[in-house]
């Protein structure tokens, strides 16, 4: 059984239906106790970083999520769920030196795409929405069965910058190369939406449901 965390900011049913399509059992959970007892966990998310953290705090989920991530059980963050795993985000930050604190499970922070790419370069549309080719890095069992250049679906205005480059599990390009997925131990996360990424996304969810994910 895969537990999908409901903290008021996720496309829960889409994730659940995608998991069911690959033969996985999934349930939506909404209490700290259910997080503590889960054996495989997905943290989805759509919306603003500060709101996401506020919702997690109000539901008493912050420490249970940190404890779960440290337990060695598989965990997958999706979109905002990936960003929340990091130390902080610049989204809605009161100042350049005052990022909004996150869960602190992964070192690094989320920063905003810059529309102005410099002289002679086209302005970016922010948020970034649409299909991008992704390079999956070696020894990434979450991406077994996929090929470099496979396309996945993104909807986001901010992207994660891990402090440790070794935490990056996939990259893509939007104005510049950026981190599209991360991996540390049994904690995985994708900036893109597997549940909206058709064949490629279903393969990722199937790998998460069935495989032992720690690389190496």
How does the average pLDDT of the chain come out, rounded?
A: 94
Q: Each residue of 13-28: pLDDT tens digit? A: 999 999 999 999 999 9
pLDDT band per the 50, 70, 90 thresholds, residue 211: low
Comparing CA positions, the residue from 216, 196, 192 lying closest to residue 76 is 192
Asked if residues 163 and 157 have their Cβ atoms less than 8 Å apart, the reply is: no
Q: Is the pLDDT of residue 91 over 50?
A: yes
Q: Is the pLDDT of residue 215 over 80?
A: no
- Residue 195 tokens, joined: 């549940």
Query: In this prediction, what percent of the chain has a pLDDT beyond 90?
Result: 87
Q: Each residue of 40-56: pLDDT tens digit? A: 999 999 999 999 999 99
pLDDT band per the 50, 70, 90 thresholds, residue 10: confident
Q: Is the pLDDT of residue 121 over 90?
A: no
User: H helices of 90-153, where?
Assistant: none
Q: Is the pLDDT of residue 166 over 90?
A: yes
Q: Each residue of 94-119: pLDDT tens digit? A: 988 999 999 999 999 999 999 888 78
Residue 46, CA distances (Å) to 79, 110, 142 in order: 7, 15, 22
Q: Each residue of 196-207: pLDDT tens digit? A: 999 999 999 999
Which residues have a catalytic role annotated? Answer: 79, 193, 195
Q: Each residue of 126-151: pLDDT tens digit? A: 999 999 999 998 777 899 999 989 99
Domain extent listing, the chain: 2-210
Q: Give 69: exposed, middle or buried? Use CB within 10 Å, 0-12, 13-18, 19+.
A: buried
CATH of 2-210, one of 3.40.50.880, 3.40.50.150, 3.40.50.300, 1.10.287.3610: 3.40.50.880
3-state secondary structure at position 110: strand
The CA distance from 165 to 57, in Å, is: 29
Q: Is the pLDDT of residue 214 over 80?
A: no
pTM of the model: 0.94
The CA distance from 215 to 212, in Å, is: 9
| 141 dihedral zone (left: phi>0; alpha: psi -120 to 50; beta) | alpha
CA angle 169, 175, 80 (to 5 degrees): 50
Q: What is the four-CA torsion angle of 23, 36, 49, 15, rounded to 10 degrees?
A: 10
Please give the pLDDT value at position 213: 54
């Amino acid at each position: 059984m895969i537990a999908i965390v409901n903290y008021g900011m996720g496309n829960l049913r889409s994730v659940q239906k995608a998991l069911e399509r690959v033969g996985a059992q999934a349930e939506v959970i909404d209490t700290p106790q259910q997080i503590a007892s889960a054996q495989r966990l997905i943290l989805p998310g759509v919306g603003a970083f500060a709101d996401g953290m506020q919702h997690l705090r109000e539901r008493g989920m912050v420490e249970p999520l940190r404890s779960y991530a440290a337990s060695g059980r598989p965990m997958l963050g999706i979109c905002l769920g990936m960003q929340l795993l990091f130390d902080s985000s610049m989204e809605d930050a009161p100042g350049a030196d005052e990022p909004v604190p996150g869960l602190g499970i992964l070192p690094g922070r989320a920063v905003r795409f810059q529309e102005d790419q410099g002289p002679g370069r086209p302005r970016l549309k922010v948020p970034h929405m649409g299909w991008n080719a992704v390079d999956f890095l070696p020894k990434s069992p979450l991406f077994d069965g996929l090929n470099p250049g496979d396309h996945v679906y993104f909807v986001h205005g901010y992207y994660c910058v891990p402090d440790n480059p070794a935490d990056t599990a996939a990259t893509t390009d939007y104005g510049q190369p950026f981190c599209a997925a991360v991996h540390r131990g049994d904690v995985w996360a994708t900036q893109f939406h597997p549940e909206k990424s058709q064949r490629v996304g279903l393969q990722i969810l199937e790998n998460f449901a069935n495989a032992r994910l720690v690389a190496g």
